[in-house]
Structure 1
Amino acid sequence: MKKLSLLFFVLVLLGTVSAMAQTVTGRVVSEGDNEPLPGVAVLEKGTNHGAATDFDGNYTFNLQNSEGAVLVFSFMGYETQEVSVDGRSSIDVVLKSNNIAVDEVVVTALGIKRESKTLTYSSQEVSGEEMMKARDVNFMSGLSGKTAGLEIRKSSSGAGGSTRTVLRGSKSVNSVSDPLYVIDGIPMVNNKGDQAGMWGGTDEGDGLSQLNPDDIESISVLKGATASILYGSQGANGVIIITTKKGKEGKTTVSFNSSAIFESVIETPDLQFSYGADGGTAESWSYTKGNYESDYVDDFFETGYNLINTVSVSSGNEKMSTYFSYGNTGAGGVVPNNSYQKHNVTFKQSAKMLDDKLTLTSNVMLTSERSKNRPGAGYYLNPLTGLYLFPRSGATPLSDSSLGAQPFSYFKDNYQYFMTSRNMNWQEWHIKADNQSNPYWLINKQPKTDLTKRVIASLTLDYQITEKLKFQARGSYDYANKTFEQKFYAGGNTVNISENGRWNYKKFADKQLYSDGIFSYQNEFGDLSLSAVAGASYQESVYGDGVSVDNGTNDLLYPNEFYFQNVPDNVAIKSIYGGKIIKEGVFGSVQLGFKDMLFLDLSGRNDWSSTLAATGNESYFYPAAGLTGILSQMVTMPEFISFAKVRASASQVNNEVPWGLIQVNHSINASGSVDRNTVKPFTDAKPEQLVTWELGTDWRFFNGRLGLDFTYYHITSTNQALSKTLSGSKQDNYYTSMYFNAGEIVNKGVEIVLNSTPVKTSDFEWNSSLNFSKNNNKVVELYPGEPSKYIDLGSSEGYINRIYTGGSIGDMYGIQFRRNDAGQILLDEDGTPLKTASDSPVYLGNLEPDFSLGWNNSFDYKRFTLSFLINAKIGGKAFSQTESILDGYGVSQRTADARDKGYVAVNGITEESGTVMTQIDPQLYYSTVGGRNGIAEAYVYDRTNIRLTQLALSYDLDVKSLGLPLQAASFSVVGNNLFFLYKKAPFDPELSMSTDLGSQSLDNFNVPATRTYGFNLKFTF
């Protein structure tokens, strides 16, 4: 109590002293329209004492030193103005626009900051606040639709799942089109674990999901190789630069950011519950209607939740700044027993020394991440197959046939029974099938856990050698220890599982050591300006270093005991190793400017990569050049044109081959003998080569109220690492295949960014941004002289993601209806549709959209802000294996509608007799067209969809008027992926089975798409 009294006395005393100081009030408006400017920074020159204007442009300022006081007014987009107080108590200020929007400083390669108008390539920046408006746990989703040319796809694995991020199209058949991620100038590890596939499996997440999004200040997207050439081959597919928050000069502030977000399924497949099984089969092909249990599918899915909380502390003075944060994320998915937990600790400190010439910055980021029962996809061991396919009229339990047909609720309440002969619990279900199990057995008796412990530590030294010359040295260590474990209890489906159960365990580490040293020089010589960078870097990465064990169908020694000593002798406890890569590089960049209106960029880098060691090609050089001209400073423009520039750039970047292709990699099996590698070492490997050129222009109109950015790019990728089979005399030393360099893939397209402020008054402001992108991908050549050879990037039964020479990445092939020249479906004499041969799949379309749109809007009215984002993907195809199997089992609403009518309408003709048939029996039709190996053509859908991606309404509290002991406070209601404005596919075509290149727009019993909604509270002390 005494301490509280003392604190109160001190606060009153400080307030009294402050009241005795001179107070200055006034209003700040913009020149021309005389509109008030909220948020203008007001600083007493020579001190750290500052304030800001309110929503009406008004300010109140208590001077620390009345004598000779000067106030400094600064605001983005306007010229900074200094005003002498001279004893006045009221000072109104008019700020003049300086089009600073084009002069704003952006973060580029290696963390180098440059004015955006000088850039010779395309880049976009998104603030951390903008990215996290909808509070999505997978924070990269916050960039979707807000950056032209950036394609972001989520897997269906929920919280902590990985994302697929591609800039300007897929450029390689080796699935390495992901951009490089950089944190505060230092490359980070973003390895993806295993992914779900047709036969099951689980997405094991990625490195990005482990970061705390509340620590992010901004994200810069460098879209092409020209923009990121200083990062070397790692930046060949573009770079996403993450700048984290740091301590700010001034008094200590404590911020708390908390959100509670709820998640629900948008739609499940359109299922029927009117027709049951016929004669006790596992399929629902009865033609007699019944009144059957119908709510168990909806009841299976739960309301998920995401609880995201971050507390941060920021402080600093002229010499030192400190930032600390702790974040906690807890989530529960829509699939029962799925949970996710993440803890983040960040500590960042910066100190100036030696008369401010030396600055040391340290940053430590700690992460602990745990995921339980992350949902997968595919046929096997997926709870959704049994949930969707269960016979509508019920089924007889395997444990007791005398019970007769029981509804699904029986199997939910009794998902296991005690098997006396095995003295253990056994799965209760109605069928022994490879593609379905009791959903409740799977979620309770096949638990899986992912655990990651990660530390990213970095140290940066900046030394100002002279006013013009600076040296920077950086070092970082990124270490992630990962454990994956899945237990399969005995008594379940025996597909890939032994009678005594199965234990799949692996523990491994990813490590990366990075360091660089960079000299930078800036100077002006009359009308000329010079900016130069030169440096060197060293990077050492080790991936997947650990152990694994998986007994598969080999019996554990004792049932349901999951530890190393219980693994049978014929199962090896393997040492796993994903590879070690060392890369050294030297680099340099020069920018020459003329009269602040013409800028020439020249850059180059040389790398030495261990993945090409002993090939003679381990050293490779790549150059880049760019030119920018500020038209609005070269010639007199009409008054409505505020700024105009044109730019052009070109680069050649080399990308090393994947690890392990040039070495002989034998392994030791459980019996102690050698399993020989059958792939011939790639001893003459050359690096993959990407040649990029782009043209662009950037215009601002009406004093920055309207902006247009246009880019055309062309990317040619050659020297792909392709595999071919060795046969006959070409085989030696047991080698059956080899790699060679060939292939050419071209991506070309346009990106358009339109920014505007249609309305701006003293109380209301509307800001809008439209992002448009279109990419055309072409496989110019694969295997020279062999146009019929192809590469399969992924497949499902009846469907193949395949590329030929002349095709495109994303081409889909599969089984079609056989038709005559008139387009009629050919039928057997009994009406069975005929289909093309399974070994000769036919082109069905391309999975990539024709173009993408993102429309982002915010409306500010006094203290309220309403924002929404609409995303559109126009064109392209998507395929659903789920719908095919639902039809084959007779459980889709389509099959019920057909039975209601008594037929399926077709335009058919029998192949032999030429009899025209327009109606086919529903079971006959769907048993052929649907199912696991049906006619894929019938389940190819238009990928076009338009959705309300984000919606947020926030209110900034007037903490002063309310008398709250806070600096700021706000409350938001948020939503994400709320609903579709247009969609043809019966599923979300943007939700993929996995993030693998060959699994995009593929639905194979994926977890349904979800919407999220909730609230967010932020306040600062």
Structure 2
Amino acid sequence: MYDKSREPVIGATVQEKNKPTSGTMTNIEGGFTINVSSPNAILVISYVGMDLLEIPLEGRSTIEAIMSENNIHLEEVVVTALGIKKQAKALGYAVAEVKGDDITGGRDGNAITALSGRMAGVDISTGSGGPSGSTRVLIRGNSQLSGSNLPLYVVDGVPMDNTQLGSADNNGGYDMGDGLSSINPGDIESISVLKGASASALYGSRASNGVVLITTKSGKGHSGLGIDFSTNVNAVMISKNFDDYQRVYGQGTNGQPPVLESSARTSTQSAWGAKLDPNSSYYIFNGQQRPYGNINDNIMSFFRTGVTFTNSLAISSSTDKNDFRISVSDMRNNDIVPSSDMYRTTFMLKGGANIGSKLKVEGRANYTREGVNNRPALSDSPNNIGNSIIGIAPNFDQKWLADGYKDAQGRYNSWNANIYRLNPYWVINEMSNKSNKDRLMGHVQGSYDILPFLTAQVKVGTDYNKFHFTNYAAKYTDGILPGRFEETLTEIHETNYEGMLRFNKRFNDILDVSAFVGGNIMKYEYESYYMKGEDQIMMDVKDIMNYSLSYPPQHTLLRKQVNSVYGAVNLGYKDFAYLDFTFRNDISSSLNKDNRSYTYPSVSGSLLFSELVDLKPYGLSFGKVRASWAKVGGDTDPYKLNLLYNLLPYTIGGKPAGQIASETVPNVNLLPTSTYSYEFGFDVRFFQDRIALDFNYYNQSTKDQIMNLPISSSSGYSNAMINAGEITNKGIEVSLNVVPVRSKDFEWTSNINFAKNTNKVKELHPEVNIYELAQARWAGASIVAIAGQSYGSIVGKKLARNEAGAVIFDSEGLPTFEDNVSILGSGTYDFTLGFNNTFRYKSFSLGVLLDMKFGADIYSMSALQSYRNGTSTYTLEGRDQWNASEQARMAANKTSKEWLDMGNVKGYVGKGVVLQPDGTWAENTVAVNPQTYWARIADNSPEPFIYDASYIKLRELTFSYDLPSKLLAKTPLKAVSITAYGRNLWIIHSKLDNIDPESNYNNGNGQGLEYGSLPTRRTFGLGVNVKF
């Protein structure tokens, strides 16, 4: 099969007429083989964007045909709300869709992460949690002050729970991952993103942040038995080194190296010593003497090259009556951190059957088993390896920490006199955490054709997740001397029961009417147990029973139910005008009886003006305008309306003691939040779709925010739950698809997607002008929402300045600071840009994906520590002068005060002014110890450590080769593809030294905080796919 340019049509569906399930597909050369029932059979050949062909064989065994281009948009079908497939031309709102082959090209283990840079208005990011961490997906900006801003995920029409079971905050923690990793990317047929309220309104209160629809592969369209096997291996390497650290001064303080073992211990993470001299030696923490010279790669040598192996097998088949697909995938990963590894095994079975001419049944079952050893600790966790090693002096080799991290009795040997910065070799050898996840998802669905235009459908879907986590610190761990063992068991179970009646009829080839009504019952249950033991009895036994001090288990049980009814009417007039109406009513158990019922309507329409006016002579092959309006919203978590109580681990007078379980005053009159949204856009395509431009404008407002209002602690509470506040998001989304070159052997396709979102917190509460979203660990910074500003402002104390903007210094030559906090930046991006190119030459294909984000800021506490520790190159200024001045002072036998009074102090002179007695300003000329200067800054202000988090990344690079079919003609193989690939290969542009600008330590609402991040990972891999 060829197109009009004699290019092979790859992937066209070939079927025998009246036998639609016994078909095949054309290969990379446009060829195909099919068994037919008769020499005179008729073949039906279809391909998206091409006219349908019917070819009588007339006894021929070989045929050749040319397929003519049609308007791709007239045939394109996308998955919309409730799993309903619609023609793209009929939609009055924006839907973005990516096919499964595009997702698996870069062999990313997480299907959602693979979408980075591919969709306008969909911001995807990962934190610093590594391969077992979670993914943050933000659609059209932040709209919620409390709770989640993440979208709803739906797999084959069944909602999936994506709860993140643990994350880091300013004091530390672990990223426990999320539910997205439970889906094997190789099982995905397509991913559709419903970005606007009109697109997602049918999902009600759960869809206020958008919906991600995942459709899995089935066995339909496969003639006979098909086998698909793929194997991939990739190396995981460090993408950004700490190569901007200074290599001039070594360990010590105040210009002096450590002279005793004790002083070496207190200064291991201080590079304020003398100039490096490899001919001299000094004591280190364990009493050994080492050369006092620079050691290249003294930090990064701790990490190893990780490796990931992934193997997948799928078997599929279909007949006239049924189809099935069964798959298994196994992933094994060793991370860059020694002792950190994970595995993930997934199984999927999906099938369907036609029982008679009217009844159809189908079902799917997914099971995932995941195990993770030693997730990286994040933020200010004492066992955060990043915090420990990135602060060491340039003359100190991290390898030395492996020698003597514990004494002969197994006790911790302190290396830095800091219980919050543990020896990384103690961490990987004497501390551990382990998690196991079992997840079962699936559904059963039946549909019955009551009449040719009327169908009844029922579906039951379930999602069960069991997560077991243990966290172990051996006896004698610094700061936890008795040892500690923590154990958490969490089970989440959600079941959806759904019924629907669907109508679809065309009247006189003029009016298309499709409609449906349905109902849903969602039942949700969350249950967890937390246990902790201290004072370990037997060394190395990791069991809660091995601790003499154990605490009573903490039990949490949450239940919620939402009953819903919904419906829609879709009208189409002469295939060029479309109008849709939808409604949904939710009744939520988490609100009181007067407020628990609420309705969400939407209306949308589209007009194909290219069907009204012939614009083809002007190059326009398709033109469409669309518009929509909708209202959606959200409820709250269970048990927020009344006081909760729990039991304490002791009794009073022989009776159990209890307490109020929350510091928040409940509000029995809570209302659901409401989001009002409208959007309009257009889709125009030129020169037979060689150029396609899609534009969308949206404006949405989220009101009646459910938030915690701070109140006086004298009340016995710290805050009260209320409805207040409004957040708006408005912006544009642009997607441009171009085929610059198309010839017989070569084709270049290009996609540019752009999105700009303007966010504003219009109001909070009359008594609240600032609402805290997250706290930083150091210098008093936090992420907040401020009335009148954009969501996610980074605030903290600025350096004090005069009217001319000069920094104000005190009489001792040290900077001063403002009394109140100010806005220092924003943790949310202004706009995003993706640039995706594919070059195909015969059997070769090259893919290049650039991912770009601009306008956000990040507070890097790793940078702050590098200034405090003296490892930053910016701390070199003034050191030579200070050290020479100190040597002269000591030679003159003068005290520091005497030397200062004599005016002989040299060192760092801060750029700014000093207030004079007469009220004028004079330039600061007082020299100070650079160590003192930067300690003063780091203790009081985050301002110097706020960085532009904009970046340009080479997100993905793939190069593949498909073996010619003639080489496989005499083998059982149908296709063989070999792919070399890379992910996160190059940070082309970034203004943040040493740290990846995406290194937020969690994926919550308070974006813009980085602390102690591990190096970013890049992958290089090779994959082979074989089809039988």
Give how far 1:767 is off: 1.1
Find 1:652's aligned residue among 627, 631, 644: 631
Find 2:110's aligned residue among 138, 143, 146: 138
Give how far 1:759 is off: 1.1
Give how far 1:62 is off: 6.8
The aligned counterpart of 2:777 is: 796
Give how far 1:685 is off: 0.7
The aligned counterpart of 1:100 is: 72
Find 2:733's aligned residue among 751, 760, 763: 751
Q: Distance in 2 between matches of 1:180 and 1:591?
A: 24
Find 1:674's aligned residue among 637, 641, 658: 658
CA contact (8 A) 1:109 1:228 kept: yes
CA contact (8 A) 1:971 1:1017 kept: yes
Pairing 1:241–2:213 present? yes
CA contact (8 A) 1:366 1:455 kept: yes
Equivalent position SS for 1:384: helix
Give how far 1:888 is off: 0.5
Find 1:622's aligned residue among 588, 596, 600: 600
Please list, as runs of the form range in 1=range in 2, the aligned pairs for 1:877-896 lying within 5 A after superposition. Answer: 877-896=857-876
The aligned counterpart of 2:515 is: 532
Give structure 2 stretches of 5+ with no counterpart: 278-292, 651-655, 883-906
CA contact (8 A) 1:989 1:1001 kept: no
Pairing 1:843–2:849 present? no
User: Which AA in structure 1 matches 2:1025?
Assistant: K
Find 1:313's aligned residue among 307, 312, 315: 315
Equivalent position SS for 2:408: strand
Equivalent position SS for 1:97: coil
User: Which AA in structure 2 matches 1:572?
Assistant: P
The aligned counterpart of 2:163 is: 191
Q: Distance in 1 between matches of 2:931 and 2:297?
A: 28
Give how far 1:40 is off: 3.4
Pairing 1:996–2:992 present? no
Give how far 1:170 is off: 0.6
**Over residues 56-97 of structure 1, what are the superposed CA-to-partner deviations in whole Å (9 max), with x where a residue is unaligned?**
65667775521x332222221011121223345665433332
Please list, as runs of the form range in 1=range in 2, the aligned pairs for 1:46-57 lying within 5 A after superposition. Answer: 46-47=18-19, 50=23, 52-53=25-26, 57=30
Pairing 1:907–2:892 present? no
Q: Distance in 2 between matches of 1:728 and 1:1009?
A: 42
The aligned counterpart of 1:606 is: 585
Please list, as runs of the form range in 1=range in 2, the aligned pairs for 1:250-399 lying within 5 A after superposition. Answer: 250-269=223-242, 270-276=244-250, 277=252, 278=256, 279=258, 280=263, 281-282=266-267, 283-290=270-277, 291-355=293-357, 357-379=358-380, 380-392=382-394
Q: Distance in 1 between matches of 2:460 and 2:132?
A: 28
CA contact (8 A) 1:376 1:1007 kept: no
Please list, as runs of the form range in 1=range in 2, the aligned pairs for 1:833-872 lying within 5 A after superposition. Answer: 833-837=815-819, 840-872=820-852
Q: Distance in 1 between matches of 2:815 and 2:694?
A: 52
Equivalent position SS for 1:426: coil
Give how far 1:918 is off: 6.5
Please list, as runs of the form range in 1=range in 2, the aligned pairs for 1:83-94 lying within 5 A after superposition. Answer: 83-87=55-59, 91-94=63-66
Equivalent position SS for 2:112: helix
CA contact (8 A) 2:592 2:669 kept: no
Give structure 1 stretches of 5+ with no counterpart: 1-26, 395-406, 420-424
**Deviates most, 235-244 or 85-94:** 85-94
The aligned counterpart of 1:665 is: 644
CA contact (8 A) 2:535 2:549 kept: no
Please list, as runs of the form range in 1=range in 2, the aligned pairs for 1:963-982 lying within 5 A after superposition. Answer: 963-982=970-989
CA contact (8 A) 1:153 1:991 kept: no
Pairing 1:484–2:469 present? yes
Pairing 1:581–2:560 present? yes
Q: Distance in 2 between matches of 1:42 and 1:727?
A: 72
CA contact (8 A) 1:200 1:381 kept: no
Equivalent position SS for 1:928: helix
The aligned counterpart of 2:609 is: 631
TM-score w.r.t. the length of structure 2 is: 0.90
Give how far 1:52 is off: 4.9
Q: Distance in 2 between matches of 1:918 and 1:323?
A: 77
The aligned counterpart of 1:943 is: 949
TM-score w.r.t. the length of structure 1 is: 0.90
Q: Distance in 1 between matches of 2:209 and 2:405?
A: 48
Q: Distance in 2 between matches of 1:938 and 1:858?
A: 42
The aligned counterpart of 1:410 is: 400
Equivalent position SS for 2:1018: strand
From the superposition, tell whether residues 547 and 920 of structure 1 become closer, same or farther in structure 2 (CA, over 3 Å): same
Question: What is the aligned-residue identity percentage?
Answer: 32
The aligned counterpart of 2:127 is: 155
The aligned counterpart of 1:694 is: 679
The aligned counterpart of 1:404 is: none
Pairing 1:1013–2:986 present? no
Pairing 1:505–2:449 present? no
CA contact (8 A) 1:959 1:965 kept: no
Q: Distance in 1 between matches of 2:311 and 2:129?
A: 22
Give how far 1:704 is off: 1.0
CA contact (8 A) 1:592 1:600 kept: yes
Please list, as runs of the form range in 1=range in 2, the aligned pairs for 1:108-127 lying within 5 A after superposition. Answer: 108-127=80-99
From the superposition, tell whether residues 49 and 241 of structure 1 become closer, same or farther in structure 2 (CA, over 3 Å): closer
Q: Distance in 2 between matches of 1:413 and 1:61?
A: 68
Pairing 1:429–2:414 present? yes
From the superposition, tell whether residues 493 and 97 of structure 1 become closer, same or farther in structure 2 (CA, over 3 Å): same
Q: Distance in 2 between matches of 1:35 and 1:456?
A: 42
Give how far 1:51 is off: 5.3
User: Which AA in structure 2 matches 1:634?
Assistant: L
Q: Distance in 1 between matches of 2:166 and 2:23?
A: 52
Q: Distance in 2 between matches of 1:905 and 1:324?
A: 70
CA contact (8 A) 1:895 1:922 kept: no
CA contact (8 A) 1:188 1:478 kept: yes
Q: Distance in 2 between matches of 1:138 and 1:823?
A: 48
Find 2:966's aligned residue among 943, 960, 966: 960
**Deviates most, 504-513 or 383-392:** 383-392
Equivalent position SS for 2:130: coil
From the superposition, tell whether residues 85 and 788 of structure 1 become closer, same or farther in structure 2 (CA, over 3 Å): closer
Q: Distance in 1 between matches of 2:355 and 2:713?
A: 71
User: Which AA in structure 1 matches 2:562?
Assistant: K
Equivalent position SS for 2:670: coil
Q: Distance in 1 between matches of 2:172 and 2:226?
A: 48
CA contact (8 A) 1:689 1:717 kept: yes
User: Which AA in structure 1 matches 2:846?
Assistant: L
Q: Distance in 1 between matches of 2:710 and 2:742?
A: 66
Give how far 1:271 is off: 2.4
The aligned counterpart of 2:288 is: none
Pairing 1:520–2:492 present? no
Q: Distance in 1 between matches of 2:197 and 2:14?
A: 41
Aligned residues: 958
Q: Distance in 2 between matches of 1:727 and 1:930?
A: 32
The aligned counterpart of 1:16 is: none
CA contact (8 A) 2:373 2:434 kept: yes
Q: Distance in 1 between matches of 2:28 and 2:148?
A: 48
**Over residues 263-312 of structure 1, what are the superposed CA-to-partner deviations in whole Å (9 max), with x where a residue is unaligned?**
11111333234322134341221243231434331210111112111111
The aligned counterpart of 2:790 is: 808
Q: Distance in 2 between matches of 1:806 and 1:62?
A: 68
Q: Distance in 1 between matches of 2:825 and 2:982?
A: 33
CA contact (8 A) 2:377 2:385 kept: no
CA contact (8 A) 2:22 2:318 kept: no
The aligned counterpart of 2:895 is: none
Equivalent position SS for 1:247: coil
User: Which AA in structure 1 matches 2:399?
Assistant: S
From the superposition, tell whether residues 523 and 384 of structure 1 become closer, same or farther in structure 2 (CA, over 3 Å): same
Equivalent position SS for 2:630: strand
Q: Report the aligned-residue RMSD.
A: 2.2
